Structures are given as structure tokens and as C-alpha cells.
Amino acid sequence: MGGTAELQENLRILQCCSILADEDGELPNHPVRFDRPRDGAAMPSASPQARRSSAPATPLSVPDDVSGAIATALNILDQWQLSREQQCAMLGISERSWYDWKRQAPARVGRDTLERVSYILGIWKALRLLLPDQQAYQRWPHLPNSAPMFGGRAPIERMAAGRVGDLYAVREWLDGWRG
């Protein structure tokens, strides 16, 4: 599964989404480029080979407040028109937590939840880059897919299976499709 480099890249996405989303986690209605933060500084990008390298890991820098990323992930799941049960499975949380998060996204979450949120944001990012319009990237998770990892089923079936590894696999598959 994803190592430290993968998590660091996902944390960069979390930071971008925290900057891009408004306080309610609403996403912009235009395509977003993730290769540069708003301040104009270059954002490092890791290739799949670099992510798998055995280079020494650097300490992770987790934002103090990830509530913007949590709210954004919840809005993405709503855009995909997922049921409450599917959303809970993807986030690895209880229904009670889901209701609490819908009222107010938490500032801090555990590593597993942070990893799940980062994969959801990464999947959204990849779909935004790959597909031409909002309708296409909102429908993609529900369409049957002939790729071997999906076996003719809709990607959402794998994504909502409740295992963080499934979110990772879909994210990696989309990154490979992107090239």
C-alpha cells in the first residue's frame, strides 16, 4: 500500500483543497490545477516510481486543521450521489460520526481517516484532469468498467467496500491512466 511518499503527496492535495474550498468545503466550479499552489511556488510532484522508491522518508507535515479537506471530501461524495452507508464505508467512520461531520467537519482526524480523505481527494483530482466535464467525472464512479481491477462492475463498488486499500488501488489506477 501507499508509503510515506504517497501520503506526503496526498497531504499536498489536502493543503490545496483546504485553500481552494470555502469554509463549507464547496469546490470551485472550474477546473483546478494542482501543480501550483495559489502563492505561485512550484509544488513538487512524485511519479509512481518515485512514490515506490526506498529513499529515506522525511517527516510528515500534517496541517493543524484538516476540516476544509474533510468538508471537501464530503461534498465530493455528495456530488457522486453516494448513500450515507457508502460515504461512511469510504471514510471508515460510523453513521453518528458522519452526522457530526456533516454539521461541522473535525479539525483533526486519525491517520487512517486522513489517508482515506486524501485518496478521495486524489481520485477527484484525477477525474477532474481526465474527464472533460463535471457530469462526466460525477458519473464515472457509477459506470461499469471493464478494467480487470473492476471486473465489469462500477468503481464505486470497490471504493465503498470499506478498505483503505481499495481507495488506494483506484487512485493508483487513475494515476496510471493519466500517465
Q: Is the pTM value of this prediction over 0.85?
A: no
Give percent above pLDDT 90 in the chain.
54
pLDDT reported for residue 141: 94
In angstroms, the CA 76 to CA 121 distance is 8
Question: Cell 448513500 appears where?
Answer: 83
H runs (alpha helix) in the chain: 4-20, 48-52, 67-79, 84-91, 95-103, 111-130, 134-139, 155-159, 164-178
pLDDT reported for residue 4: 54
Reported as a single tens digit per residue, the pLDDT across 140-174 is 999 999 999 999 999 999 999 999 999 999 999 99
**Confidence grade of residue 178 (pLDDT, cut at 50, 70, 90):** confident
Sequence ranges of the domains in the chain: 4-178
**CA neighbor of 172 nearest in space, from 111, 115, 122:** 122
**Confidence grade of residue 49 (pLDDT, cut at 50, 70, 90):** very low
